[in-house]
Amino acid sequence: MTKTRRLCLFFVLLSGAISVLWGFSIGHKNPGGPTDFQAVYYGAECLLQHHDPYRVSDMEAVYFAANEGRPFATERERVLATLFVNLPTTFLLFAPFTVLPLGMAQVLWLVLTAGSLLLAGVLMWDLGEKHSPILSTCLIAFLLANSEYVFSTGNTAGIVVGLCMIGAWCFLQDGFVLAGILCMAVSLAIKPHDAGLVWLYFLLAGGIHRKRALQSLVVTAALAFSAILWVSLVVPNWMQDWRSNMAAISARGGLNDPGPATLATDTFAKVISLQAVFSVFRDDPRFYNLATYLVCGVLLLVWVIATLRSRSSQEKDWLALAAIVPLTLLVTYHRVYDAKLVLLTVPACAMLWAKGGPIRWIALGISAAGVVVCSDVPLIFFEVFAEKLQLSTSVLSGQVLTVILGRPATVSLLVVSVFYLWVYVRSAFTPLPSALPEQGKRERSASAIA
């Protein structure tokens, strides 16, 4: 490893470490620690006590017993703690944590979350730096340094996103295959809306990729079956309660409502799916859901056709993932902590940069914008600026500015997806010009000199 490479890797790890420590300090200022972790921790404990974690009254009883009757500070805290909407597979992951006191369990969860996300970042950097070490280092370090919200809330997205990227790396590099299968399977089992389209690529790509996808699916099915059987034996009517919770949390003004009336208006971590943009123009689920599915459906159809028509290669693999990752975040409910999945676009950006020509600058500009607006600190500045302007959504100009300033992550993700889809479709039918990685160029130069 050269001195420059060691320095770049150190910078990536340092950026991640800063984010971990900063996020941990923020999360532990909340009563009881990170809010999202508490919800799942108490949910698993509720199930182990043979109560229904999907019933608000049962969750409140467990919460008050553990917190000596301390009332909820805000309505948002009450919703987070008692309106459980995670899939039953989450209990398999969190049940072991309940044998530990809450504080120790939080520290262990932080270590696992930080480990998975930082390892994923390092793996993406390792792929990208072969083409452009400085570009890859800057993009990945910036995003990792702005991931405080993952660690301050303890949301499962941190581990899910990390495991998804680790699994993708294992499949594409054909190394540590068993670990990759397990990582992808756990990611799919806990948050299928994060890892689902990434997994779909490996299924459609054929060959060894399809084999790995099917192996992951088998493990995912085993985990899901075990979890559903466990929950059903303890709480036979859990499905009805889960549906009620999903309806409540997604209703007008609910925590997961993508519209302007959401309870999360006091935080920068709004919903970043495409519904959040269309809801600015018409706050009607029938409108913004249909519009989102039409736009994303067309893009997904084009992506599927290109995937089925093209032969798999390492370059096309990364272009395909760079196109589908933003679409994953747009089509259904996601927040800023899910958006760390854009790390998967960095290898494709570095690859295009190494090819030269005008496309390198377009790729850099679009990818950098996607990374910046999916980062925590820049989003806070966007949010503060938008609030100071006090934009009116009753007129078209106010709606457009609200979308640009109030939903920058969504707009940027759509641009990233369209750009990489365009490049991917072109590559599917026209061979890309070859580009040697930086290391390869150095080796060829050395050979020529010799």
pLDDT tens digit string along 159-191? Answer: 999 999 999 999 999 999 999 999 999 999 999
> Of 347, 423, 323, whose CA–CA distance to 131 is shortest?
347
State mean pLDDT over 359-382: 91
Residue 325 falls inside a structural domain: yes
What's the rounded Cα separation, in Å, for the pair 410 and 279?
Answer: 12
State mean pLDDT over 360-379: 92
Q: Choose between 230 and 379: higher pLDDT.
A: 230
- Position 444 pLDDT exceeds 50: no
Start-to-end Cα distance in the chain = 22
**Residue 199 pLDDT:** 97
Give pTM, 2 decimals.
0.90
Residue range(s) defining the domain that contains residue 292: 269-431
Task: Tell me the CA distances in angstroms from 145 to 118, 141, 216, 219, 376, one per residue in order.
Answer: 10, 6, 31, 33, 9
Q: Are 273 and 331 in contact (CB under 8 A)?
A: yes
Residue 155 falls inside a structural domain: no
Residue 375 falls inside a structural domain: yes
Residue 257 falls inside a structural domain: no
Q: Are 399 and 280 in contact (CB under 8 A)?
A: yes
What's the rounded Cα separation, in Å, for the pair 323 and 303?
Answer: 8
Residue 384 falls inside a structural domain: yes
Enter the tokens of residue 83. 């309106």
**Residue 1 pLDDT:** 64
Q: Are 24 and 111 in contact (CB under 8 A)?
A: no
**Residue 53 pLDDT:** 94
Dihedral angle of Cα 193, 195, 196, 202, to the nearest 10 degrees:
170
Enter the tokens of residue 151. 């660690």
Residue whose entry in the numeric block shows the structure tokens 């020529």: 448
Residue 11 falls inside a structural domain: no
Total domains in the chain come to: 1
**Residue 445 pLDDT:** 41
What's the rounded Cα separation, in Å, for the pair 148 and 238?
Answer: 33
Task: Tell me the CA distances in angstroms from 307 to 113, 183, 204, 303, 327, one per residue in order.
Answer: 32, 23, 7, 6, 15
- Of the pLDDT bands very low, low, confident and very high (cuts 50, 70, 90), residue 380 is confident
- Position 436 pLDDT exceeds 60: no
Residue 101 falls inside a structural domain: no
Residue 282 falls inside a structural domain: yes
Of 69-83, 204-218, 310-324, 347-361, where does mean pLDDT reach its minimum? 69-83
- Position 404 pLDDT exceeds 90: no
What's the rounded Cα separation, in Å, for the pair 191 and 90?
Answer: 9
**Residue 438 pLDDT:** 44
In this structure, the number of other CB atoms found within 10 A of the CB of residue 426 comes to 14
**Residue 443 pLDDT:** 35
> Of 177, 168, 431, whose CA–CA distance to 316 is shortest?
431
What's the rounded Cα separation, in Å, for the pair 43 and 91?
Answer: 8
DSSP three-state, residue 296: helix
**Residue 432 pLDDT:** 56
Cα 323 to its chain centre, rounded Å, is 14
Which pLDDT tens digit goes with each residue over 239-285? 999 999 999 888 887 888 888 776 544 445 578 999 999 998 998 99
- Of the pLDDT bands very low, low, confident and very high (cuts 50, 70, 90), residue 402 is confident
- Position 12 pLDDT exceeds 90: yes
- Position 132 pLDDT exceeds 60: yes
Which pLDDT tens digit goes with each residue over 37-85? 999 999 999 999 999 999 999 999 998 888 877 777 777 778 878 888 9
- Of the pLDDT bands very low, low, confident and very high (cuts 50, 70, 90), residue 383 is confident
